Amino acid sequence: QVRLVESGGGLVQPGGSLRLSCAASGRISSINAMGWYRQAPGKQRDLVASISRNGLTNYADSVKGRFTISRDNAKNTVYLQMNSLQPEDTADYYCATSWRTTINAVDYWGQGTQVTISS
């Protein structure tokens, strides 16, 4: 089992920034890709960004140039730096891991952290 604990969500004005963190514990050896999904009310959960163990990244088109994913393998932690936030970024953000190099098939989910962009 892998436990994922997210932090860093909150309320921010349009144009602002937030940094999400997700710390993994438990069966760390099973983790390759780490990433973030988000789910807005009434919508499906979509991939935002992912990063493999060796640092290969992938982003949804809607966040390219605004969001940056990174990870610290020594701390078993993945980060999502979100800049130039817009109301359409409002969602619950979920950390996810996979034993694969991509995060399309998720093995473990975090509990989610709420991000609200509003003036």
- What is the tens place of the pLDDT at every residue in 67-111? 999 999 999 999 999 999 999 999 999 999 999 988 889 999 999
Alpha carbons 117 and 119: distance in angstroms, whole number: 7
Structure tokens at 109: 């989910």
Q: What is the mean pLDDT of the chain?
A: 95
User: Which pLDDT band holds residue 64 (cuts at 50, 70, 90)?
Assistant: very high
- The pLDDT value recorded for residue 101 is 87
